[in-house]
Amino acid sequence: MRKIFVAAVAGAALLAYFSLWPVDIAPVGWEPPAQAPSTAITKGSLASIERMAANQGTGPEGISLDASGRVYAGYLDGRVVRFSRDGQHVDVLANTKGRPWGTYASADGQSVLVADAIKGLLKIEAGRVSTLATEAEGIPFRLTDDVVQGPSGKIYFSDASSKFGIDKMMSDVFEHGANGRLLQYDPVSKNVTVLMKGLHVANGVTLGPDESCILVSETLSYRVWRYWLKGAKAGQKEVFIDNLPGFPDNISFNGRDGYWLALYAPRDALLDALLPYPALLKAAYRIPQTLQPKAKKVAHVLKLDMNGKVLVDLQDDQPTAYAPITSVREFDGALYFGSIEYPAAGRMRLP
């Protein structure tokens, strides 16, 4: 009887902890749409991805390429590197002493813009790291994510969260708060302009043709936005694609007929079930992180047309998959891949 009583008391105390213990999040209820079946015109496999610069570093999260096809990426240890086109040679350009995520290389490779999750918006030139911006409207960047530069010279980038830093990324998942921003930096005036705010993790960014618009992934809402920079709709935003089958990460324009979108992981049925209920999100957040459900490792990218229609759906769910994929770019008949966790970049020839 004593053992039963002790077990009951322990169970009650555990329940009270998971229900009442103070936490640093204020969850916002949101009911995600029911997942729709794929409408892709073409489906294929990512099983043939070859590894580039394997074991040179961990987590080349946001890759970019220069005009000659050299690949740029940032590693977990702060290094920003350049791979030769065949991936056989790796040059260290600089170390940001932070966590470089998004990169954008100039056409000649002489300079590289870096969205550093810890340090902010940076620029690397001649081996030196300079800081371009660390805040907007008086609010510091907590999780600078991706970056791109237009022909005008203006720089567009995302701050995934203005509340939680890299050490508390899961906090945004459970809070589902509107903490993300899409930003513009003017190298001439050195001013930062907030283009969009209230995003549920602002992630990948890419420019449309002629810098007419910019797309930004809203990871925790399973959608991508289009913000118009020119024309009759300048200053307006619209949903580009919604109800995605996974968490959208970096996105890139292929320069011709569409965009490539990386999906970090498939949607999780349990998370979708919890999202409408703030109290349950708080309880789940109190569970030790080591016991919380982990994202399923599936390699997944989509090709979208200029209006957000899915044209191509490529996946690999095998244990050997190059996953998770956090960035994808097309160059000279091949796709190049980056990953926030994998110890290599990836490449696959297009059919």
Whether 198 is covered by a domain: the verdict is: yes
Whether 148 is covered by a domain: the verdict is: yes
In contact, 226 and 255? CB cutoff 8 Å: no
In Å, how far are 36, 92, 155, 267, 279 from 273, measured between CA atoms?
A: 16, 44, 38, 11, 12
What is the reported pLDDT for 2?
A: 41
* Nearest-angstrom CA–CA distance, 170 and 175: 9
* Nearest-angstrom CA–CA distance, 156 and 191: 12
Whether 38 is covered by a domain: the verdict is: no
What is the reported pLDDT for 4?
A: 45
Which tens digits make up the pLDDT trace of 215-253? 999 999 999 999 999 999 999 999 999 999 999 999 999
Whether 64 is covered by a domain: the verdict is: yes
Whether 262 is covered by a domain: the verdict is: yes
What is the reported pLDDT for 351?
A: 79
What is the reported pLDDT for 40?
A: 87
Instruction: Check whether 48 has a pLDDT greater than 50.
Output: yes
* Nearest-angstrom CA–CA distance, 341 and 351: 27
What is the reported pLDDT for 86?
A: 85
Instruction: Check whether 6 has a pLDDT greater than 90.
Output: no
What confidence tier does 85 reach under pLDDT thresholds 50, 70, 90? Answer: confident
What is the domain extent for residue 95? Answer: 47-349
Residues of the chain with pLDDT > 70: what percent? 94
Whether 291 is covered by a domain: the verdict is: yes
Whether 319 is covered by a domain: the verdict is: yes
What is the reported pLDDT for 291?
A: 75
- Report the number of distinct structural domains present in the chain: 1
CB atoms within 10 A of CB 135: 14
Give the residue among 122, 197, 190, 123 at the shortest CA–CA distance from 159.
197
In Å, how far are 39, 161, 244, 249 from 315, measured between CA atoms?
A: 14, 28, 14, 15
At 77, which CATH number? 2.120.10.30
Span 182-205, average pLDDT: 97
Whether 11 is covered by a domain: the verdict is: no
